[in-house]
Structures are given as structure tokens and as C-alpha cells.
Amino acid sequence: MTDLREANRGAVLSDLLLHRPTTRTAIAQRTGLSAATISRAVEVLVADGVVREVSEVVSANRGRRAVALDLVGERSVVAGVDLGASATRVVLVDFAGSELRRWEQPTRSDLPAADLADWLAGMLTDRSADLGAGLAAVSVGLPGAVAESGAVSNAPNLPQVMDPGFVTGLRRAGGVGVRVDNDVNYALLGEQRRGAAAHAGDAAMVTIGAGLGAALAIDGRILHGRHGLIGEFGQLPAGPMGTRLEHMVTGPGILRRAEEAGVPLARPQDLFAEEHRLSPLRTQFDHALQIVLTAVAVASEPEVVVLGGGIADSLAGDLDRYQATLGATLQVAPRLVPAELGAFSGAIGAAIDAVHSLYADLGAEPGLGGGHGRSAAS
């Protein structure tokens, strides 16, 4: 009987999350559960501080009034973190998913793994201390591949996160559940829920900056793989003499190739100035990016591909041209769009994952936007 009651409570909460605010009658109509079952489930959720009655609404049934239900936002606070090699971005949201605070600051990449974990945990604790509820969950996007086991690899720009002591230290120092995933996976989740890929179940994201990353989603679920290598298209040896694509399109790669070619560039973004449009260096970049986009398109047939990152920000005026070339190659092409959430795509996606992990703990069904990250091992 207890299992049945918990299942009913989870079903009611799942429906509320998708249709909030809503009424008991509306939940009954959508779920098929009896009015008595829903009333008992709501009583438990209210008693546990998960749900509250917020207002009266006029129903279609002879103008009778029904009481609307919604989440108790102040129940808890969660953090979404995008931990980059140069900058760390954080978004705090409440239990209802409403943003409370965001900030960006330089990453202490000079610290060893354990100290980096302590620095991050301390920052989160300090910056959330005045919000009433303590931190209930943290999700962290990392610049590397994250395996099912939680092990991190392919993180050359911030190698400390590959040390098992980083994630375990973060969990120990923070005192809460910590989930980790690839930073681009979280960026795609953010754009799917609140940005440029909203309402696109089949979507992808490509970020180009200090590194090259990609994330793929089918039917709204982000793909991972046992070792977290799905989307690591930068490893493809598709450039001249087997050069990896990552070295052809990223900021460090552009500067390295410009120096080899004797082309003076003060910064990677200068390659996209009009004076370099027909240069061999720009042609090589365009060709490499087309390989990346083609690989993404044939890997999962996304409806839309979101481009983000410091280099991608310079390509907004060229997206139609890239899309046309992609269409000529494949006969059909996904829409190419810039990220709407900007540099905070990853932190917002991580925050969404963190708050949905709380919903899952309460019995809500998966598929509501959470469950993408991997729980850190103890």
C-alpha cells in the first residue's frame, strides 16, 4: 500500500510540474486518478512543504471555484555551475526553478584538485548563505567527458577535474548531493528548456571557444554513452595530415595556425574580420567547421543546432551560409541558430538538472528535464 501511495504522489507531482499552477480537478482529468486519491496525495505534499494552495480559479463547471496548487519555491535552493578553465559561472534557483542569483568570476585554475573543490564549495556556501534555505543540490558542468561511473577524461584545459579527488572532495566539502556532466550537455539542456532549442526534442549544441564541444539530444533526452564520449567530434583527425578538428577551429588552434602561416592575429576572433574572409586560414576554418556540423547532423538528425562559445559568437552573420552549404551536402539541414542564453547556457542547464534531481527524489517521473547529470561517487 505504501508503494502505491508513493506512486500516486509521484504521479500527482509529475503532472503538477508539467502544468503548474493547476487544480486537483485538472490533475484528475489528465492522470485518470480518482479525486480521493489526488486529495490524499496533495495532503501529503502540502504537509511535506512541497506544494501549497495559491489561489482560487473559476472552473468551467457552472462557474464554481477551485483552488490552484503550485510548488513551494522557498523550500530549497540549488546551484548550477559551469566550471571553465578561465571562468566559473553560477546560477542559483529555488525549488520552483525561479532564478535567485547569478554571477561569474575567474576560475582558480592554479589550485590542485582538492583545493579547487574546496574553493568552489566555499564560494557556493558563502554566496547562498543569505537565501534562507541551505543548498539542497549542486550540478556542475565540467570541460571534459563524464563517464557513467562519474570518472572524467579529456579535460586538457582544466586537468584537475580528472582527478577523482576533485568530485569526491566537492561533495564532501559541500555536504550535499553533487551531480556532474559535460559542460556542453548542460548548455544544451539550458537552451532546450529556456533558450534557442525550446520545443525541439531532437537538438544539438556546438560550442567553440578554448575547446570544441558538442551535445546531442533525441526525443528530449541528452545522449551520454558509457564513457561520455558522445559528441567529442573535436577528436576526429579530419584536418591536414590527420590534424584533429579541435585544433582547426578553437581559439588556441586558430592562433597557432595563424602564427605558422605568418598571419598576424591579436586574438582568434580577428580571423572573422572582413579582411580575412577569403584568406586560406579562414577557408581552412570554414572547411573544418563544416565537417563538425556535418558530423553532428548525420549523428542524430537534429531539428536545430545551437552554436555557442567565444568563437561561435563571431559567426552569427555566417550561419545562413553554413546552413546552405550543409543543405547542399545532405539535401536537408538542421536550422543553425546562436545561443539565446549566452555564456550562462551551461550554468542554467546545470541548475535545471539540480532542481529536477530534487523532484526525482520525491518520486516525480523522469523525462521532465532532469536526470541528465551523473551523481558523483562517494
Structural domain count, the chain:
3
Same domain, 322 and 265: yes
Extract the C-alpha cell encoding 375.
Answer: 551523481
One-letter amino acid at 318 equals D
Q: Please indicate, yes or no, if residue 262 is contained in any of the structural domains.
A: yes
DSSP one-letter string for 97-156: --EEEEEEEE--TTS-HHHHHHHHHHHHHHHHGGGSSPEEEEEEEESSEE-TTS-EE--T
What CATH number did the domain enclosing 24 receive?
Answer: 1.10.10.10
Q: Please indicate, yes or no, if residue 302 is contained in any of the structural domains.
A: yes
What CATH number did the domain enclosing 88 receive?
Answer: 3.30.420.40
Q: Please indicate, yes or no, if residue 368 is contained in any of the structural domains.
A: no
**Domain encompassing residue 11:** 1-71
Closest of 19, 63, 15, 74 to residue 41, by C-alpha: 15
Q: Which tens digits make up the pLDDT trace of 209-228?
A: 989 999 999 999 999 989 99
Same domain, 333 and 350: no
Same domain, 170 and 59: no
Q: Which tens digits make up the pLDDT trace of 230-273?
A: 999 988 998 788 889 999 999 999 999 999 999 999 999 999 99
Domain boundary residue, one of 33, 55, 71 = 71
Query: What's the pLDDT score for residue 365?
Result: 78
Report residue 137 CA to chain centroid gap.
15
Extract the C-alpha cell encoding 195.
Answer: 533558450
Q: Please indicate, yes or no, if residue 375 is contained in any of the structural domains.
A: no
Same domain, 58 and 100: no
d(CA 45, CA 5): 12
Closest of 185, 193, 239, 194 to residue 214, by C-alpha: 185
Q: Please indicate, yes or no, if residue 193 is contained in any of the structural domains.
A: no
Q: Which tens digits make up the pLDDT trace of 22-42?
A: 999 999 999 999 999 999 999
Same domain, 146 and 55: no
- In this predicted structure, the answer to whether residue 60 has a pLDDT above a threshold of 90 is no
Domain boundary residue, one of 14, 42, 71 = 71
Q: Which tens digits make up the pLDDT trace of 271-303?
A: 999 999 889 999 999 999 999 999 999 999 999
What angle do the packed helices 24-31 and 35-47 form, to 10 degrees?
Answer: 120
Ramachandran class of 73: left when φ > 0, alpha when ψ lies in -120 to 50, beta otherwise: alpha
Q: Please indicate, yes or no, if residue 15 is contained in any of the structural domains.
A: yes
Same domain, 212 and 165: no
Same domain, 289 and 347: no
Give whole-number Cα distances, 62 to 59, 66, 100, in Å. Answer: 7, 12, 40
Same domain, 89 and 152: yes
